[in-house]
Amino acid sequence: MKKTVFKGSGVAVITPFIDGNAIDYPALERILNHQVDNGTDAVVICGTTGESSTLTDAEHRNAISFAVKTVAGRIPVIAGTGSNDTAYFLDLSRYAADAGADALLAVTPYYNKCSQAGLVKHFECVADRVDLPMILYNVPSRTGVNILPETCAELAKHPNIVAIKEASGNISQIMRTAYLCGDELKIYSGNDDQIVPILALGGIGVISVLANCLPRETHDICRFWFEGKHDESLALQLKYHPLIEALFCDVNPIPVKEAMKLLGRCDGSLRMPLTKISGKNEERLHTELANVMPEALIG
């Protein structure tokens, strides 16, 4: 039986900046501790929501090390190390292992892309050389590459490839992946609006944007499901659906950065080419946050 990295809610944590420039490490420390203290089951550092694509190599490495040191073993830290350059993916993954990360999150190659056979070679190259559990990340809307269920089944044969974050949105495809892979490849929802549907297919949790704002509640969607309280789990999924929609009313992480600003957890700044949320979407986001957590808003 392969190791399960975590079960429940993993947060795809933002990277707070100071006016869009340097990483705001004091804010990141507060955010990480807030997550641990409020039930989050794992932290993903330097993922898409963490704006990894605009972090320098030094920032990427420093953020991974900082997260590991701050979390200090209280919950797993999963390092986003995926790249479209296999050699860099390997180098960064080795660094994450040396820094003490508990697992890797590996996005499919983007822009140059590759075939399904290329995906197998790409992921296996790192899994053969870095002794950490690897979570594949399937998000074809961003990368232009879809990991087919048959490819997942081939990759699941590797002892270090243990799970997939599924953000394709294709429930039929996810069902086939679950059918072909069984316990050899655990499934995490990569979309906050599909937590319960994927749990119903045998998924074991979510890697979540929503959890930045609502860590306890996102954890509880999963906890209720695992406790057999399916109605309660679904009720929470539906309750927070309008906020989830608002958090994706613009390119992620634009809305969640604004939400975290409204909650007083960072200054909300982004790295270009991402730009501030539009006025209409900002109003929508403020309204939905106020509907579920009015006491937490500072603006």
Q: Are 93 and 103 in contact (CB under 8 A)?
A: no
Mean local confidence (pLDDT), 168-196: 98
- Locate 112 and state its tokens: 């140059």
Q: Give the Cα separation of 275 and 278 in Å (integer).
A: 9
Q: For residue 246, is it within any domain?
A: no
Q: How many domains is the chain partitioned into structurally?
A: 1
Identify whether 294 is preceded by a cis peptide bond (ω within 30 of 0): no
pLDDT band at 92 (very low <50, low <70, confident <90, very high): very high
- Residue 293 pLDDT: 84
Q: Is the pLDDT of residue 299 over 70?
A: no
pLDDT band at 28 (very low <50, low <70, confident <90, very high): very high
Q: Are 129 and 122 in contact (CB under 8 A)?
A: no
Q: For residue 100, is it within any domain?
A: yes
- Residue 35 pLDDT: 98
In the chain, the percentage of residues whose pLDDT exceeds 70 is: 100
Q: Is the pLDDT of residue 80 over 90?
A: yes
Which of 95, 137, 188, 240 is flagged as catalytic?
137
Mean local confidence (pLDDT), 233-250: 98
Using alpha carbons, select from 155, 257, 242 the residue that is nearest to residue 212. 257
Q: Give the Cα separation of 131 and 154 in Å (integer).
A: 19
Q: Which domain holds residue 40?
A: 8-230
Q: For residue 265, is it within any domain?
A: no
Q: For residue 252, is it within any domain?
A: no
Q: For residue 257, is it within any domain?
A: no
Which of 69, 113, 165, 229 is flagged as catalytic?
165
Q: Which residues contact 91 (CB under 8 A, 6 or more apart)?
A: none
Q: For residue 220, is it within any domain?
A: yes
The pLDDT tens digits for 244-298 are 999 999 999 999 999 999 999 999 999 999 999 999 999 999 999 999 988 878 7
Task: Please state the pTM of the whole predicted model.
Answer: 0.97
Q: For residue 32, is it within any domain?
A: yes
Q: What is the CATH number of the domain that holds 194?
A: 3.20.20.70
Question: Is 186 labeled as catalytic in the residue annotation?
Answer: no
Question: Is 137 labeled as catalytic in the residue annotation?
Answer: yes
Instruction: Give one DSSP letter per residue of 231-294, joined into a string.
Output: HHHHHHHHHTHHHHHHHTSSSTTHHHHHHHHHTTSS-----TT--PPPHHHHHHHHHHHHHH-G
Q: For residue 201, is it within any domain?
A: yes
* Lowest mean pLDDT segment, chosen from 58-62, 92-96, 172-176, 293-297: 293-297
SS3 content of the chain, % helix, strand, coil (to 5): 50, 15, 35
